[in-house]
Structure 1
Amino acid sequence: MTQRQPTPETTPAPIRVLVAEDQAAVRSGLVLILRSAPGIEVVGEAVDGEQAVARARALRPDVVLMDVQMPRLDGVSATRQVVAEGLADVLVLTTFDLDEYVFGALRAGAAGFLLKDSDAARLVEAVRTVARGEGLIAPAVTRRLIKEFARSGTATTADPSVLAVLTPREREVLGCLGRGMSNAEIATHLTMAEATVKTHVSRLLGKLELRSRVQAAVLAQELGV
């Protein structure tokens, strides 16, 4: 009787990251951190926005780590192109001192925002979070966005009637997004499977014509959902 050979466990594919940052020293540091992290592969680097878009088209990474202040084409414009073409999810590097860049990246469909002074562990976790399809929407960051939108007069006057297209369950999920919950946290909170949460998030984004969970979180807080 032939003995069956054990089947090797399937190793998940690494998260493929493109790092776009014009400062060589900063870029090298980001690349070093990411290359040291298990399950993450840096597939390319870009020194400006135009190169970021071109390399995203050529390499099709899972995540683009995008600085907002870059020559030739700024990070906001580059993010808009990458998102519009469906090339990758974009994680924006920001200081939060330049509000217009943050707002622009939000509208462009960035999947998350990461402070430039974040430590290595936070950087790695941010990349993994975005790669899972979960926007980096820490409650403190979202509240800051809302506050700055209101202070600068750039906030949109959200009409509560837009929520009419959502089912009661989708409204509950939207409220959870506004509180910065991950899919796993939403699943626990609402007692449903994580896969079901992903479906609800995808559907509500489509119905509300939003590009990212970050936009959904801001809308939820604007409307008090």
Structure 2
Amino acid sequence: MTIKIVIADDNSFIREGMKIILSTYGDFEVLATLNDGQEAVDYCKWNKVDIALLDVRMPNMNGVEATKLIAEQTVTKPVILTTFDDDEYIFDAIKNGAKGYLLKNTEPERIREAIKSVYHGNTVMQDVVLDKLKSNMDGSKKDEHKIDASLFTEREMGIMALIAKGYSNKSIAKQLFISEGTVANHITSILGKTGLEHRTQIAIYYLTGSVG
């Protein structure tokens, strides 16, 4: 199965360089390189795209806004590929449905594995991104959870923690020695208690206490 990708970045050197790198892998097909978020949204609406790699800072429509529209209106999975200069956008991007948040200086092989992981249903955030997210939320202490643990069972808390680390249902089931069906039931319960709609929102909720 070939994973079909588009790359949106207003820096032509970066987007064309990324296209060259990803095209060396036989399991990827780069369908298009685009200049901004609006172009990415339009392309994903009219073409079968598996993964959209989006920069954050782009003219006309930035990557955070594009992420929301792509997640809501297409079957494409948006992945943010950006720099730490854009770290203030991490929360909004993931809240808007980003399935991954990677740094541009990541080694190509790791980007490749991240794209494949997202394609197979996982959420991928590098540890440095997660740490950045935790440390910057309202100046709170890094190890302090804001969520009301009394609302959840111990098992639900454990599952939320693993979701926040990007684990799939299958991986969570293996980690906790329970069935995938049981994991799904717990996630349904978590969504019901929080009013959230999907896994990436659970990850943000677990890390920040906000249902956004």
For normalisation by structure 1, the TM-score amounts to 0.77
RMSD: 2.8
For normalisation by structure 2, the TM-score amounts to 0.81
The answer to whether residue 191 in structure 2 is matched with residue 203 in structure 1 is no
Query: 1:200–1:132: structure 2 CA closer, same or farther, 3 Å change rule?
Result: farther
Structure 1: unaligned runs, 5 residues or longer = 1-12
2:137 touches 2:208 (CA, 8 Å); kept in 1? Answer: no
In structure 2, distance between residues paired with 1:129 and 1:87: 16
Counterpart selection for 2:32 from 31, 41, 44: 44
Residue type of the alignment partner of 1:199: A
1:146 touches 1:218 (CA, 8 Å); kept in 2? Answer: no
CA apart distance, 1:151: 2.6
Cα deviation, 1:155-211, whole Å, max 9, x if unaligned, reads: xx95527x74x6764443112223444545422221134x44773586367434445
Range that drifts further, 130-139 or 96-105: 96-105
Query: 1:87–1:212: structure 2 CA closer, same or farther, 3 Å change rule?
Result: same
Query: 1:104–1:175: structure 2 CA closer, same or farther, 3 Å change rule?
Result: closer
SS in 1 for 2:175: helix
Query: 1:149–1:36: structure 2 CA closer, same or farther, 3 Å change rule?
Result: same
| Matched ranges for 1:141-180 at <5 A | 141-151=129-139, 160=148, 164=151, 169-180=155-166
In structure 2, distance between residues paired with 1:204 and 1:59: 35
Partner of residue 121, structure 1: 109
In structure 2, distance between residues paired with 1:136 and 1:201: 21
SS in 2 for 1:38: coil
The answer to whether residue 204 in structure 2 is matched with residue 218 in structure 1 is yes
Range that drifts further, 209-218 or 51-60: 209-218
SS in 2 for 1:147: helix
Q: Which runs of 4+ in 1 moved over 6 A?
A: none
How many residue pairs get aligned? The number is 204
The answer to whether residue 53 in structure 2 is matched with residue 62 in structure 1 is no
Structure 2: unaligned runs, 5 residues or longer = none
Percent identical pairs in the alignment equals: 29
Partner of residue 31, structure 1: 19
SS in 2 for 1:92: strand
Residue type of the alignment partner of 1:44: A
Query: 1:138–1:100: structure 2 CA closer, same or farther, 3 Å change rule?
Result: closer
The answer to whether residue 180 in structure 2 is matched with residue 191 in structure 1 is no
